[in-house]
Structure 1
């Protein structure tokens, strides 16, 4: 298995296309050039730090360091989920939900993969656990963000209808049933679209990376199929947990709608 190593010059050449985006922003007065530059710089710094950290953790092959890094990833995911909400629920419960839903879903899918599907020795080998967990966490984070944002925004928009149902004796989940179902559909749509278009419209990043590293395309495709199945499962668990939890956060035990708990971004 061989691959072509990249140096700093190669990365600089690839960045020309990003600079072209900045020029488009300037030409059309979009005001995105600063945002693009910051995002690109942040990406490079974050990947460099993560790459060095993974190299260190891989060399240790320690379950403790693997777990600590996974917890750090989950904490960062929780921050991202909360920061993306247009209307967010105040208090630590919202942050716990934003971090807990993708973490739990990603953990279950990762353990399922390493213990029952791939079976590395040891099962907690960071070279397998952390990349898989990162993919599960990233997709579950996206689904969680979409669900929470949809439910909070829809609750404000459809307040009168929800309160009317509650006044007629409906429980909290019954009153927001339509909103919850639409939110879950929204949260699952990215992975459904990804599975439907993979292989025809686009080659996913993992499969492309393996092929570039010299892996046989058929073997790379097998791994990609496995990952998409796992991503679908973890995303489903995350969006359901986030949706049910969000309903609890915007209502109380007396089945009242509590929009006073929301704060605008």
Structure 2
């Protein structure tokens, strides 16, 4: 990309406001179909479309300003804000939240995404400075978005099991099982549920779909081989981030549901 234009097939292409309106007309078709079939999605689609335009336009202005300055404080502030918003969103998806779930989710997401992102920046991409915004913000955003879905699925499934299987868990505890032993199957099932979307994506990547990073690079005129390598790295980073965040969230949930005497308690 140069001067706001995409290099495609050796020629520069510029997306205009008219191009955006044409793409918006496709959403209008979905809205009409929803209204015609009485699906109840028309209002949601309209709100989602408006939010997409407003949010992406604002973040585009913010990123342009941050990219030009390359300030570590500003970059870390944006990354922290992204993580907090993701934690709030993940917590809100859980049907039976408990007091302290937001903190647990924030720590799990923060540790997982920042650790994996730093590995990518320092060992794989080896960019200088390591907080270069044009690299670290998109990469952390990709990892964070996928980890958000994974951690909400894991937390929701595990909390639901702990609520529904109290008698079974207490029986296992009475038979000298530790909290981990009593909840191991539930933890494994919950983590597997959280990882399922990521695993499914990895199974069909390149066969059914071309992911966003790879598609973007190809549209920008990058060598397809390099685009593939970037996508492979990205998929592995997402997998690692999702796995770590799911595992940490499961551990934090178990800690909340058992006291110091290893007795099952249901937090409110």
Question: What is the TM-score of this pair, normalised by structure 2?
Answer: 0.92
Structure 2: how far apart are the matches of 1:16 and 1:155? 46
Larger CA deviation: 228-237 vs 22-31 = 22-31
Q: Deviations over 1:186-223 (max 9, x none)?
A: 11111111111000111001100111111111111110
Q: How does 1:176-215 map to 2 (within 5 A)?
A: 176-215=183-222
- 1:10 is matched with which residue? 19
Larger CA deviation: 78-87 vs 42-51 = 42-51
Structure 1: how far apart are the matches of 2:113 and 2:175? 39
Residue 158 of structure 1 pairs with residue 165 of structure 2: yes
Residue 31 of structure 1 pairs with residue 40 of structure 2: yes
What is the Cα-based RMSD across aligned positions, in Å? Answer: 1.3
Structure 1: how far apart are the matches of 2:24 and 2:86? 27
- 1:226 is matched with which residue? 233
Q: How does 1:222-261 map to 2 (within 5 A)?
A: 222-259=229-266, 261=267
- 2:4 is matched with which residue? none
2:154 is matched with which residue: 147, 156, 164? 147
- Check the 8 A contact 1:89/1:250 in 2, yes or no: no
Q: How many angstroms does 1:109 deviate by?
A: 1.1
Q: How many angstroms does 1:64 deviate by?
A: 1.1
Q: How does 1:81-96 map to 2 (within 5 A)?
A: 81-90=90-99, 93-96=100-103
Structure 1: how far apart are the matches of 2:185 and 2:18? 53
Residue 56 of structure 1 pairs with residue 65 of structure 2: yes
Are the structure 2 counterparts of residues 37 and 250 from structure 1 closer, same or farther at C-alpha, using a change threshold of 3 Å? Answer: farther
Task: Classify the secondary structure of the residue corresponding to 2:97.
Answer: strand
Q: Deviations over 1:45-81 (max 9, x none)?
A: 1111111111111000111111111001011011101
Structure 2: how far apart are the matches of 1:164 and 1:5? 66
Structure 2: how far apart are the matches of 1:66 and 1:133? 11
Structure 2: how far apart are the matches of 1:78 and 1:55? 25
- 2:145 is matched with which residue? 138
Residue correspondences, number: 259
Structure 2 alignment gaps of length 5 or more: 2-6
Task: Classify the secondary structure of the residue corresponding to 1:89.
Answer: coil
